[in-house]
Structure 1
Amino acid sequence: MPNYGMPGVAVDRKRAMTVGAVALALVVTVVAGWVLDRSQKTEAGLPISLRTERIGDGVLVGTDVRANGVVVGKVTAISPDRNGTQQISLRLDDSELFGLDDSLQVDYAPANLFGISEIELRTGAGGSPLRSGTVLDFTGRRASEVYDATMGSILRSAAQMGDSVLTPQMASVIAQAAADTQAFTPLAQALITAQRTVTNNQKMPMSELVGNLGPAFDGGGRFAGATVQVVDLILSMQRLQTDRAAYDKGVATVTGQLLPALATTFTQAGNQLSGTTDMLVPVLTALARMVPQPQQSAAELRLLLERLRAAMPDNGQGPVLNVEVDLKGVPAIAVPLLGGIG
C-alpha cells in the first residue's frame, strides 16, 4: 500500500495530490481573509489628543479617563510634541460624553487613596462637538485649564507652603503675639479675680456678708473721728483765736504773693533753660552710648578697683604700692637707692 493510501479506500496518487492542494488553498484563503478583515476593521471609540505643557504624576498609557465620575476611555499613547510639550492620545466612548465639547477642561486627579492617577474631563463654557482626531491644545492661554491635583503635586505644594510660611518672620510674629498676650495677663487675672469675687459673694449667706462688711464700717467711723479731730485742732489753734488778722495776712501773703511769684519764676526758668536742656540731650545720649552694657561695665570697674586695692594695701599711713624690684647686677641704680650699701 502506498504512503498516501488509507485501508478500505481506493485512491491513487493524483487524486491525493489534488485533495491536498485544495485543502491547503482553502486554509490560505481563510487566513488571508481574516488578516484583511482585521486590518480594515477600526477600533471602537472616539480618538482625540491633548497637547499639554505638563503631565500629572502617574499618568501613563492605560490610565483611565473619567467624565462626571464615569470611566469614558483610556490613555492610548503619550509622546513628545513640539516646543517641549507633550501629546496625550485618548480613546473615548462617544456614547458617554454628555455635555463635553472642545471647550472641556482637564484635571490630573488621584483615583484612590493609594495615589493612582487618572484624567478627569470637566465641562467647559461651550464649543464645537468633539470629532475623531481632534487635537485640543492646552498650551499658552489655555494652560490654566489643566489642573494637577495628583498626590505628588499636593505634596510639592505642601512643601513649598511650609518653606514660605515657616520663616523667621513668621517666628517673629508668633513671638510678638505671645509677648502681647503676656502683656494682657494682669488684666485677665484681674477680670478672673473680680468674677470669682462676684461668684463667691453670690454664694455667701447674708449674715456672713454683713459680718465681712463690719470692718469697713469700723474704718469709716475711725476716718470720720480723725477728720473731726483735725477740724477741732485747726479751730483750737491759739493763733486763730488771739490774732486772726495776722494769720489771715500770712495766708494772703502766701496765696497772693509767694505762690504767684514762684509760678512766674518757674515759668521764666523754663523758657530760659529750655535751650540748655535741649543741648543736654546729645551729651546724655553720647554718655549712654559710651556705656552700652552698664552691668558689664560695672563688673569690670569693680574688678579693677579690687585689683588696685590688692596692689596698694593700707599700712596705717595710707595706701602703699605693693611691689618688689630686683636690682641685682645694676649697681648704678642699686647703690643710690640702698643708701650706699653694696
Structure 2
Amino acid sequence: MPNYGMPGVAVDRKRAMTVGAVALALVAALVAGWALYRSQQTEAGLAVTLRTEQIGDGVLVGTEVRANGVVVGKVTDIAPDQHGTQQISLRLDDSKLFGLDDSLQVDYAPANLFGISEIELRKGAGGSPLRAGTVLDFTGGRAADVYDATLGSILRSASQVGGSVLTPQMASVIAQAAADTQALTPLVQALIVAQRTITDNQKMALSELFGNLGPAFDGGGKFAGATVQVVDLLRSIQRLQSNRDAYDQGVATVTGKLLPALSNALGEAGTQLSGTTGMLVPILNMLAQMVPQPQQSSAELRELLQRLRFAMPDNGQGPQLNVDVVLRGVPALAVPLLGGAK
C-alpha cells in the first residue's frame, strides 16, 4: 500500500496530491485573511498626545491615567520632541471622559504611598471636544497647566526651600524676634494679672456688685457734705474775717519757724543718738545668746509661773504661800511663834 493510501479508500497518487494542495491553499488563505484583519483593525479607545516641557518622576509607558479618581486610560508611548519637549501618547476610554475637553489640565501625582506615579486629568475652563489624534500643547503659555506633584518633585522643593530659608540671616531675624518677645514679657504678665483680677471679680453677681457699691456712693455723698461743712466753718471763723493779718502771722510762724526748728532738732537727735543705737546692738546680741532656744525658754517660764501660782494661791487678800511647817520639838521657835501652844 502506498504512503498516501488509506484502507477502504480508493485513491491514487494524483488525486492525493490535488487534495493536499487544496488544503494547503485554504490554510494559507485563512492565515493571510487573519493577518490582514489584524493590520486593518485599530485599537479601541481615543488616542491623544500631550506635548510637555517636563515629565513627572515615575511616568512611564503603561502608567495609568485617571480623571476624577477613575482610571480612564494609560500611557502608550513617550518620545522626545523638538526644542527639548516630550510627547506623551495616551489611549483613553472616551466613554469615561465626562466634562473633559482640550482645555484640560494635567497633574503628575503619586498613586499611592510607595511613590508610584500616575497622570491625573483635571477639567479646564472649557474648549473643544477631544477627538482621535488631538495634540494638546502644554508648552509656552500653557506650561502652568501641568503640575508636578510627584514625590521626587516634593522632595526637591523641600530641599530648595530649606536651603533658601534656613540661612544665617533668618537665624538672626528669629533671634531678634525672640529678644523683642522677651522684652514684652513684663507687659504680657501685667495684662495676664489684670485679666485674672477681672475674672476673679466677675465671679460675683452683678446685683451683688451694685449692692456693694451703693454704700460707697452714700459714703461719698456724706464725705462731700462734710467737706462743704468744713469749708463753711473755715469761712465762718471770726478771726479770719476780722483779724486776717494776725492769723497769717501765726500760720507763717508755724510753717516758717516752728516746723523748720523741729526738723533741725530731730536731725540733731538722730546724729547724736546714732552712737547709742550702735551700743544697743551688742546688748541685744547678748540677750539673744542668753535665750538660744526661745520656744524652750518660753515653755519653761510658763511652767515656772504655773507652779508659783499653785504654790501661792490667792485667798482674797492677795497671794499666800501654801506651806505647812512642823515646829513640834523645837521650843526655841515654837514658843515665840505659837505663844507656848502645842
TM range (shorter): 0.5 to 0.7
1:27 match: 27
1:315 match: none
- Residues 95-174 of structure 1 aligned to structure 2 (within 5 Å): 95-174=95-174
Deviation of residue 26 (structure 1)? 1.0
Deviation of residue 14 (structure 1)? 1.3
Structure 2 length-normalised TM:
0.56
Gaps (5+ residues) in structure 2? 201-256, 265-342
Q: 1:176 to 1:7 in 2, by over 3 A?
A: same
2:181 match: 181
Deviation of residue 3 (structure 1)? 1.4
- Residues 249-268 of structure 1 aligned to structure 2 (within 5 Å): none
Deviation of residue 235 (structure 1)? 6.5
Which one-letter code corresponds to 2:82 in the other structure? R
Is 1:91 the counterpart of 2:91 in the alignment? yes
Aligned to 1:119, the other structure's residue is in SS state strand
**CA distance in 1 between partners of 2:192 and 2:100 (Å):** 64
**CA distance in 1 between partners of 2:147 and 2:159 (Å):** 18
2:54 match: 54
Deviation of residue 22 (structure 1)? 1.2
2:79 match: 79
Q: 1:2 to 1:143 in 2, by over 3 A?
A: same
1:39 match: 39
Q: 1:145 to 1:17 in 2, by over 3 A?
A: same
1:111-139 CA-to-partner distances (Å, cap 9, x unmatched) read 11111111111111111111111111111
Q: 1:199 to 1:52 in 2, by over 3 A?
A: closer
Which one-letter code corresponds to 1:83 in the other structure? H
Which one-letter code corresponds to 1:139 in the other structure? T
Aligned to 2:172, the other structure's residue is in SS state helix
Aligned to 1:129, the other structure's residue is in SS state coil
Aligned to 1:9, the other structure's residue is in SS state coil
**CA distance in 2 between partners of 1:134 and 1:5 (Å):** 63
Q: For the aligned residues, what is the CA RMSD?
A: 3.1
Aligned to 1:66, the other structure's residue is in SS state strand
Structure 1 length-normalised TM:
0.56
Aligned to 1:87, the other structure's residue is in SS state strand
**CA distance in 2 between partners of 1:151 and 1:165 (Å):** 21
Q: 1:2 to 1:127 in 2, by over 3 A?
A: same
Aligned-residue sequence identity (percent) comes to: 82
**CA distance in 1 between partners of 2:17 and 2:120 (Å):** 63
- Residues 139-288 of structure 1 aligned to structure 2 (within 5 Å): 139-187=139-187, 234=260
Deviation of residue 147 (structure 1)? 0.7
Aligned to 1:182, the other structure's residue is in SS state helix
**CA distance in 2 between partners of 1:237 and 1:89 (Å):** 107
Aligned to 2:98, the other structure's residue is in SS state coil
Deviation of residue 34 (structure 1)? 0.4
1:269-315 CA-to-partner distances (Å, cap 9, x unmatched) read xxxxxxxxxxxxxxxxxxxxxxxxxxxxxxxxxxxxxxxxxxxxxxx
Q: 1:199 to 1:110 in 2, by over 3 A?
A: closer
Aligned to 1:31, the other structure's residue is in SS state helix
More displaced 10-residue stretch of structure 1: 189-198 or 133-142:
189-198
Deviation of residue 6 (structure 1)? 2.1
Deviation of residue 10 (structure 1)? 2.5
Deviation of residue 169 (structure 1)? 1.1
**CA distance in 2 between partners of 1:26 and 1:7 (Å):** 26
Which one-letter code corresponds to 2:48 in the other structure? I
Q: 1:97 to 1:198 in 2, by over 3 A?
A: closer
Deviation of residue 9 (structure 1)? 2.6
**CA distance in 2 between partners of 1:67 and 1:199 (Å):** 57
Aligned to 1:36, the other structure's residue is in SS state helix
**CA distance in 2 between partners of 1:236 and 1:101 (Å):** 105
Q: 1:6 to 1:189 in 2, by over 3 A?
A: same
* Pair member with larger Rg: 2
